[in-house]
């Protein structure tokens, strides 16, 4: 479905490109040996290098480079055998060097793409322009003293990957799908934890609109401070409508940077200083170029963790899932792992059904992630086994599952304790049927007179008498026989 | 030609300030220098030459991903007179 | 006892070895001399207590048979090198309160081999200058004529060596800052291959051109200090990862059959000894070959653009936040501005402002990139020359030391000053110079060769 803004004179389409900053998962910072861990005592994860003391020089953490390459591979991108670091010069309180080390001229990763699937099944390929490796800035706190800002450099120098998307996105929904897909890729690769609320994944959106059919791009607005997928989608929508209103009134959209305010639900212009900066990029003379060999790159590819896309295809092939289910179950590592533990050696259809239905529903209600699930995957597997071996019926299984959620106990223990084992003893079931037939002679004659629909009523009565534990197949078979 | 507006802007970029007279004279001096550079250095000969921003052209050395530094917050803040509770302090940055 | 400060570093080492005197005695002699000649203003900081303590420890080590290669040798360190626990200013007001909690790698190498720290020598502010007159701590006087400058930026080190205020001194060169003051003060020195000595812990001026090196009284002394200072440092990504030869053992005074190139672009102004020196090396069996370094003229432009551009970025870290002086302001930007206006001297401010132009979107493509292209052509001039000859011989500087008055009115442009040193600095190749004002330029990594030929020139009187 294309996303069109209807104006008075024109129909408008939106053009969006996202720039996403992903904090790299590594032990040490990208250009020093201090810890890259989040938080900590102020200025404790800081070396003289991070604090840009006189005479200090950066040195490269190989893992940060490799993490960038892995991510590039996840984005189906070209890995550049020649790349180089540049300095981006500007003054700010949390930027100790007075410049950020980044890669403008020769990034480590070149063009690639992300394939997205929208809710209605539409597929789209969104191109990625580049990924470059750079360092994060420190953090400043503004609310601890009236006239002072407090600077903590713990984050200063943590490795960042900036992923620059092409302006291929044409709806808020596509933007959301792009971000979620990107997040599932970096998480699958273990290169970034993708937590937007903690700021380990941060997004800026470049938004412009143009009349449908127009090929030229109009002035774009960069929106900063978008710390959730929802906010990104909302901000794009708001900004598109703001621009629409301006154009409809014959106005002009200024190319600028705006901030998204999720409380007032508006975008507003940032102080214009930010807009007029010349960052004076030049090659960092402290860092020689990164020269990779094809063998080195191939080796990284060989040891790459499975990507969500590959996993999805494998799920379809190996577990015979439909595309929709496979997409959901393969999206993140933990879910995929959970599902695979449940599905291995079992009815995969049932496994998918239980994970996506009962389990997801319950976790949703409890507000828990799959890692926090009170029911372990092996335990859910045991429950499925009990059903497969006719020890319990599907109906009882739901009851057992509820108890597993509450108690965290094993399925077989619950079945044992609560005496929920299915009755498969023919004589026991026959006894129950006999009693029901004896107590309801009129219904029996109605049935015999041809009202065969009443069989269901008899099944219900017998089930009730067995407290739901009678094996349904056996019960049916015996009832039909007895009722003649 | 470099005028004093450019000089003013350049000074601001590196957080320095000049008097209008200094801007004027620096603009004049710098324009002459650039002319000299243009005459002397910018030649056809440079076409197709690969820039050499450093004589070190081999690959960058790299480190294992191990935490080997940091964890001395008192020392890192010891050279500044402007710290509170382990933070560096600066005049309020307005967002 | 004779005046111990008269001994060269090599002689002092031998005296210490033979137990003719102790390092404490040697150090005390130097401390006395420093006090006596304080008017030269060669030092920003003197460290007598540290010196005597280091000397005492050195004597102890020597007694225990654990002597290092420079055991007990009193040295001065240019104030651009960070020294743990000792004021390190870069001759700038902005660092006038900075006591680094670490030492430069090169200093650590010196202390490990037993050298003793006498103090920190004066320099142009952040090494930006060639007369040592831009120092916040005042001008240094040339010991041979106190009305004249010692050259710069390593003027304090050169003056200290020439006046026998230390056995040797560390120095740095970006375009001529070791060789020019060495020539002005009639001392020996070396600017090694770029990357031979680590830059880690040395205040950066122009990162792609900053070469730590040595000034001492003789080539042999220079070689001994260099082989200790040099060496791979993983904390400097531009550091050479190769073993350091024992330069002092390569000085065999034998240049028979060697081809020595004379760059014709370097002979416009020659020192008085020039003709004798040419005759002398021929007598020693070397062959003289005239060669050309066609891009010599352009080096000044490349140097100007590169150093200012890099400096404007390198000095951004002096912002009053984490170290150094601060002048408060109502806003962050005002604080930066006031701090930097107050902390930097006029010459530094001028270079930082102009340097930003070469990094601006316009200036980068119009000037910075062409300059880096020209830099390659300059480097290739040397490559081509070294296909024909083993080393190059030339005057160190085309001029005589100017007076302090002349320097203050800016009559002496760097442009002329460093004509014979900027090209080899841009090419990152080694050059050794001798007190008579001559230098020997060698191919990359060939410091040993440069020093060997320089030592022969040193013998020519």
Active-site choice (C33, C58, C69, C78):
C78
Query: CA–CA separation, C460 vs A131, rounded Å?
Result: 60
The three-state secondary structure class of C96 is: coil
- From chain A, pick out residues whose CB is under 8 angstroms from the CB of C95: 54
Across chain B, mean pLDDT equals 95
**Residue A176: its H or E element:** helix A172-189
Kindly give, in sequence order, each residue whose CB lies less than 8 Å from that of residue C56, ignoring residues fewer than 6 positions away. C23, C24
Based on the residue annotation, tell me whether C421 is a catalytic residue of this protein: no
CB A90 within 8 A of CB A99: yes
Residue from A44, A45, A17 nearest A30 by CA:
A45
Q: Per-residue pLDDT for C413 more than 70?
A: no
Residue in this structure with the two tokens 């999206």, named with its chain if needed:
A331
Compute the average pLDDT of residues B10-24. 96
Higher pLDDT, A484 or B76: B76
Query: CA–CA separation, A341 vs A375, rounded Å?
Result: 12
Query: CA–CA separation, A58 vs B62, rounded Å?
Result: 10
Q: Per-residue pLDDT for A277 more than 80?
A: no
Query: CA–CA separation, B8 vs B14, rounded Å?
Result: 10
Task: Label residues A307-344 b or e (16+ Cβ within 10 Å = b).
Answer: bbbebbebbbeebebeeebbbbbbbbbebbebbbbbbe
Q: Name the token pair of A159.
A: 């490795």
Q: Per-residue pLDDT for A457 more than 90?
A: no
CATH number at residue B9: 1.10.20
Q: Per-residue pLDDT for A135 more than 90?
A: yes
Query: C125: how many CB neighbours lie within 10 A of its CB?
Result: 29
Choice among A283-292, A439-448, C221-230, C266-275 with the minimum mean pLDDT = A439-448
The three-state secondary structure class of C118 is: strand
Residue in this structure with the two tokens 């090929």, named with its chain if needed:
A215
Q: Is residue C114 part of a domain?
A: yes
Question: Residue ranges per domain, chain A?
Answer: 4-297, 304-417, 426-483
Compute the average pLDDT of residues A426-449. 84
Q: Per-residue pLDDT for A275 more than 50?
A: no
A426-483 CATH fold:
Arc Repressor Mutant, subunit A (1.10.10)
Higher pLDDT, B11 or A385: B11
- From chain C, pick out residues whose CB is under 8 angstroms from the CB of B41: 298, 301-302, 370-371, 374
Residue from A300, A297, A303, A299 nearest A82 by CA:
A297
Query: B63: how many CB neighbours lie within 10 A of its CB?
Result: 20
Q: Name the token pair of A17.
A: 């490109």
| pLDDT tens digits, A297-316 | 999 999 999 988 899 999 99
B28 alpha-carbon distance from chain centroid: 22
Looking at residue C416, what is its pLDDT? 66
| pLDDT tens digits, C160-190 | 999 999 999 999 999 999 999 999 999 999 9
Looking at residue C202, what is its pLDDT? 98
Taking an 8 Å cut-off on Cβ atoms, the answer to whether B70 and A34 are in contact is: yes
Q: Give chain C's domain count.
A: 1
Query: CA–CA separation, A130 vs C315, rounded Å?
Result: 30
Based on the residue annotation, tell me whether C92 is a catalytic residue of this protein: no
Q: Give chain B's domain count.
A: 1
| pLDDT tens digits, A153-189 | 999 999 999 999 999 999 999 999 999 999 999 999 9
Query: CA–CA separation, C304 vs C312, rounded Å?
Result: 12
Q: Is the reported ipTM for this assembly greater than 0.95? A: yes
C279 lies within 8 A of chain A by CB: no
C102 lies within 8 A of chain B by CB: no
Kindly give, in sequence order, each residue whose CB lies less than 8 Å from that of residue A395, ignoring residues fewer than 6 positions away. A468
| pLDDT tens digits, C39-93 | 999 999 999 999 999 999 999 999 999 999 999 999 999 999 999 999 999 999 9
Looking at residue C397, what is its pLDDT? 93
- The model's confidence at residue A440, banded by pLDDT at 50, 70 and 90, is confident
Looking at residue A411, what is its pLDDT? 85
Let me know if C64 is exposed, middle or buried by CB neighbors in 10 A (0-12, 13-18, 19+). Answer: exposed
Q: Per-residue pLDDT for A204 more than 50?
A: yes
Query: CA–CA separation, B6 vs B9, rounded Å?
Result: 5
Taking an 8 Å cut-off on Cβ atoms, the answer to whether A151 and B76 are in contact is: no
Looking at residue C243, what is its pLDDT? 97
Q: Per-residue pLDDT for C412 more than 60?
A: no
Based on the residue annotation, tell me whether C330 is a catalytic residue of this protein: no
What angle in degrees, to the nearest 10, is found between the helix axes of A455-465 and A441-448? Answer: 150
Taking an 8 Å cut-off on Cβ atoms, the answer to whether B76 and A46 are in contact is: yes
| DSSP 8-state symbol, C367 | I
Task: Label residues C359-398 b or e (16+ Cβ within 10 Å = b).
Answer: bbeebbebbbbbbbbbbbbbbebbeebbeebbbbbbbbbb
Q: Is residue C398 part of a domain?
A: no
The three-state secondary structure class of C102 is: coil
Quote the minimal CA–CA distance from B41 to chain C in Å.
6
**Segments forming the whole domain that contains residue C246:** 4-250
- The model's confidence at residue A272, banded by pLDDT at 50, 70 and 90, is low
Residue from C427, C429, C418 nearest C377 by CA:
C427
- From chain C, pick out residues whose CB is under 8 angstroms from the CB of B33: 304, 354
Compute the average pLDDT of residues B36-52. 93
- The model's confidence at residue A276, banded by pLDDT at 50, 70 and 90, is low
Q: Is residue B23 part of a domain?
A: yes
The three-state secondary structure class of C252 is: coil
Residues in chain B: 95
Higher pLDDT, A399 or A183: A183
The three-state secondary structure class of C137 is: coil
Chains touching chain B through at least 3 C-beta pairs below 8 angstroms are A, C
CB C388 within 8 A of CB C289: yes
Choice among A127-136, A271-280, C422-431 with the minimum mean pLDDT = A271-280
Looking at residue C360, what is its pLDDT? 96
Across chain C, mean pLDDT equals 96
Disruptive mutation site among C170, C200, C208, C313 for chain A (greatest number of A CBs within 10 Å): C313
CATH number at residue C135: 3.90.1300.10
Q: Is residue C326 part of a domain?
A: no
Query: CA–CA separation, A379 vs A341, rounded Å?
Result: 10
C309 lies within 8 A of chain B by CB: no
Q: Is residue B50 part of a domain?
A: no
| pLDDT tens digits, C217-269 | 999 999 999 999 999 999 999 999 999 999 999 999 999 999 999 999 999 88
Q: Per-residue pLDDT for A379 more than 50?
A: yes
Q: Is residue B66 part of a domain?
A: no
| pLDDT tens digits, C254-264 | 999 999 999 99
CB A113 within 8 A of CB A83: no
Q: Per-residue pLDDT for A424 more than 80?
A: no
**Segments forming the whole domain that contains residue B8:** 1-43
């Amino acid at each position: 479905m294309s996303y069109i803004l209807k104006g008075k004179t024109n129909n408008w389409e939106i053009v969006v490109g996202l720039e996403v900053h992903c904090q790299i998962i590594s032990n040490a910072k990208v250009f020093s040996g201090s810890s890259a861990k989040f938080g900590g005592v102020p200025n404790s994860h800081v070396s003289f290098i991070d604090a840009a003391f006189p005479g200090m020089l950066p040195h490269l953490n190989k893992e940060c480079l490799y993490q960038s390459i892995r991510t590039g591979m996840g984005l189906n991108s070209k890995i550049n055998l020649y790349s180089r670091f540049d300095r981006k010069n500007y003054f700010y309180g949390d930027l100790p060097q007075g410049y950020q080390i980044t890669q403008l001229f020769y990034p480590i990763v070149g063009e690639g793409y992300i394939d997205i699937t929208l809710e209605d099944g539409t597929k789209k390929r969104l191109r990625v322009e580049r990924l470059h490796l750079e360092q994060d800035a420190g953090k400043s706190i503004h609310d601890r003293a009236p006239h002072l800002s407090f600077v903590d450099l713990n984050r200063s120098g943590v490795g960042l990957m900036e992923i620059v998307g092409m302006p291929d996105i044409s709806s808020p929904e596509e933007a959301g799908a792009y971000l979620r897909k990107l997040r599932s890729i970096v998480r699958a690769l273990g290169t970034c934890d993708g937590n937007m609320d903690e700021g380990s994944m941060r997004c800026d959106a470049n938004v412009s609109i143009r009349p449908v059919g127009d090929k030229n791009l109009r002035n774009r607005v960069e929106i900063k401070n978008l710390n959730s997928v929802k906010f990104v989608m909302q901000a794009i929508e708001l900004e598109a409508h703001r621009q629409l209103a301006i154009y409809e009134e014959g106005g002009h959209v200024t190319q600028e940077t705006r901030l998204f305010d999720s409380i007032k639900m508006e975008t507003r212009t940032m102080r214009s200083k930010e807009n007029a900066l010349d960052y004076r990029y030049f090659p960092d003379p402290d860092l020689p170029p990164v020269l990779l060999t094809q063998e080195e790159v191939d080796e990284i590819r060989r040891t790459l963790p499975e990507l969500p896309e590959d996993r999805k295809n494998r799920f379809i092939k190996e577990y015979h899932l439909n595309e929709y289910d496979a997409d959901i179950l393969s999206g993140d590592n933990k879910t995929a792992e959970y599902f695979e533990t449940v599905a291995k050696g079992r009815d995969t259809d049932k496994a998918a059904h239980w994970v996506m239905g009962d389990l997801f529903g319950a976790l949703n209600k409890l507000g828990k992630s799959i890692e926090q699930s009170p029911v372990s995957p092996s335990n859910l597997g045991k429950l499925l086994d009990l059903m497969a071996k006719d020890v319990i019926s599907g109906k009882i299984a739901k009851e057992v599952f509820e108890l597993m959620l509450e108690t965290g106990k094993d399925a077989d223990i619950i079945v044992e304790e609560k005496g929920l084992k299915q009755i498969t003893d023919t004589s026991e079931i026959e006894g129950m049927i006999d009693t029901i037939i004896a107590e309801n002679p009129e219904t029996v004659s109605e049935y015999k007179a041809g009202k065969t629909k009443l069989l269901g009523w008899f099944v219900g009565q017998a089930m009730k008498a067995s407290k739901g534990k009678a094996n349904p197949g056996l019960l049916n078979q015996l009832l039909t026989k007895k009722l003649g | 030609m470099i005028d004093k507006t450019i000089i003013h802007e350049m000074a601001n970029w590196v957080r320095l300030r000049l008097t209008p007279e200094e801007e004027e004279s620096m603009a004049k001096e710098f324009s002459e220098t650039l002319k000299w550079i243009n005459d002397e250095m910018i030649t056809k000969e440079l076409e197709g030459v690969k820039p050499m921003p450093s004589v070190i052209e081999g690959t960058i050395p790299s480190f294992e991903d191990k935490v080997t530094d940091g964890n001395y917050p008192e020392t890192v803040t010891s050279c500044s007179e402007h710290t509170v509770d382990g933070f560096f302090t600066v005049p309020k940055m307005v967002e | 006892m004779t005046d111990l400060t008269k001994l060269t570093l090599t002689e002092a080492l031998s005296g210490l070895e033979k137990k003719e005197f102790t390092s404490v005695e040697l150090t005390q002699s130097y401390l006395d001399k420093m006090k006596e000649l304080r008017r030269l203003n060669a030092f920003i900081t003197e460290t007598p207590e540290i010196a005597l303590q280091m000397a005492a420890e050195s004597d102890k080590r020597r007694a225990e048979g654990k002597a290092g290669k420079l055991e007990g040798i009193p040295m001065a360190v240019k104030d651009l090198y960070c020294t743990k626990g000792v004021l390190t200013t870069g001759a700038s007001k902005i660092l006038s309160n900075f006591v680094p909690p670490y030492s430069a790698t090169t200093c650590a190498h010196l202390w490990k081999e037993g050298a003793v720290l006498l103090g920190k020598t004066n320099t142009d502010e952040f090494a930006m200058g060639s007369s040592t007159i831009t120092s916040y701590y005042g001008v240094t006087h040339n010991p041979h004529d106190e009305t004249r400058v010692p050259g710069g930026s390593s003027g304090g080190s050169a003056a200290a060596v020439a006046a026998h205020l230390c056995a040797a001194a560390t120095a740095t060169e970006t375009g001529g800052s070791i060789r020019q003051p060495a020539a002005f003060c009639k001392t020996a020195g070396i600017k090694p291959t770029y990357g031979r000595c680590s830059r880690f812990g040395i205040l950066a001026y122009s990162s792609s051109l900053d070469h730590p090196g040595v000034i001492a009284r003789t080539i042999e002394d220079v070689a001994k200090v260099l082989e200790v200072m040099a060496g791979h440092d993983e904390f400097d990504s531009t550091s050479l990862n190769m073993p350091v030869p024992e330069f002092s053992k390569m000085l065999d005074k034998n240049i028979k059959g060697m081809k020595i190139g004379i760059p014709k672009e370097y002979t416009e102004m020659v020192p008085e000894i020039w003709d004798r020196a040419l005759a002398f090396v021929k007598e020693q069996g070397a062959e003289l070959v005239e060669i050309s370094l066609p891009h010599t003229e352009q080096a000044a432009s490349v140097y100007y653009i590169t150093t200012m551009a890099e400096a404007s970025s390198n000095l951004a870290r002096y912002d009053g936040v984490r170290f150094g002086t601060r002048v408060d302001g109502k806003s962050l930007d005002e604080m930066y501005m006031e701090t930097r206006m107050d902390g930097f001297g006029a010459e530094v401010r001028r270079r930082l402002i102009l340097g930003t132009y070469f990094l601006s979107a316009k200036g980068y493509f119009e000037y910075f990139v062409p300059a880096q292209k020209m830099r390659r052509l300059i480097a290739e001039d040397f490559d081509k020359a070294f296909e024909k000859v083993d080393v190059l011989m030339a005057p160190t500087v085309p001029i005589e030391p100017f007076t302090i008055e002349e320097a203050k009115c800016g009559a002496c442009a760097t442009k002329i000053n460093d004509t014979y040193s900027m090209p080899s600095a841009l090419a990152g190749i080694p050059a050794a110079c001798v007190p008579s004002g001559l230098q020997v330029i060698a191919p990359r990594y060939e410091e040993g060769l440069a020093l060997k030929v320089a030592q022969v020139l040193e013998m020519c009187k």
